[in-house]
Amino acid sequence: MPAKSRQPKTREPLTRERIAAAALKFIDEHGMEELSMRRLGKVLKVEAMALYHHFANKGELLDAVLERLADEVELPPRGTMPPMERLRCFARSHRQMALRHPHAFILVPTRRFSTDRSIARYEEILEAFGDLGFDAALSARYFRTLGYLASGAGLADIASRAEQPDARPVRLETFDDPRFPRVTAVVPHLRASKLDAIFEFGLDIVFDAMARDAETIRQANAKKKN
């Protein structure tokens, strides 16, 4: 009986998406500082030079990783809920993404979105502010403010859970020192278990201000029509 001919294994094609996904996974597992084109090539079982056919340098690769992080942040489609709720959902999802990728999240607040794909994401978010009646200047202010809150909360959450690279045990989690009475008093309210409530407190402050501005704009527009 003739032996069955063995079909050669088909190698998965090397694409920008596959490389960026592998880079994010590598960062999640080993940290940002360990990432190099040579090490990533080894993971993908290709020579490092093969990666340069898709990315001119490591900076372009990190831009692609940043795109993948941004894609994970949920912004419900326009029309599925009021603009304010869409933006609140976005802020919560942004923070949760930090906890999923504690090593890679630092790219979000420190690296500018510069690709068409990431700028299109900006456009979607700014559209929600526009739907509240905000002009470009007010949209920019609230866009930044909400970004500061969500990114800052994400970084604080990572640190509070000691998930950043080379983290030391969180001393403040069980802090009790009579030399620092105010710190000792506050620590129980800053523990990781309290962070959700603190974040929602911050969101309420920002969104209450947004609601007031949106109502002022609505009333002004109504007067113009009358």
Signed CA dihedral, 214, 220, 225, 226: sign only: positive
List pLDDT tens digits, range 110-138.
Answer: 988 889 999 999 999 999 999 999 999 99
Give the pLDDT band of residue 162 (cuts 50, 70, 90). low
Question: Rounded to the nearest 5°, which phi and psi values hold at 187?
Answer: -50, -45
Q: Does the structure show a pLDDT above 60 at 192?
A: yes
Q: Does the structure show a pLDDT above 70 at 69?
A: yes
DSSP alpha helix (H) spans, the chain: 16-30, 37-44, 48-51, 58-72, 83-100, 107-110, 116-131, 136-160, 181-186, 195-225
- Three-class SS state of 166: coil
Give the predicted TM-score (pTM) of the model.
Answer: 0.85
Q: How far, in whole angstroms, is CA 204 from its chain's centroid? A: 20
Q: Does the structure show a pLDDT above 70 at 173?
A: no
Summarize the confidence of residues 148-162 as an average pLDDT. 88
Crossing angle between the packed helical segments 16-30 and 58-72, to the nearest 10 degrees: 80
List pLDDT tens digits, range 7-54.
Answer: 555 678 899 999 999 999 999 999 999 999 999 999 999 999 999 999
Q: Two tokens at 95?
A: 């923070």
CA–CA gap between residue 79 and residue 33 (Å, rounded): 42
Q: Does the structure show a pLDDT above 60 at 1?
A: no
Classify residue 161 as exposed, middle or buried by CB count within 10 Å of its CB (0-12, 13-18, 19+). middle
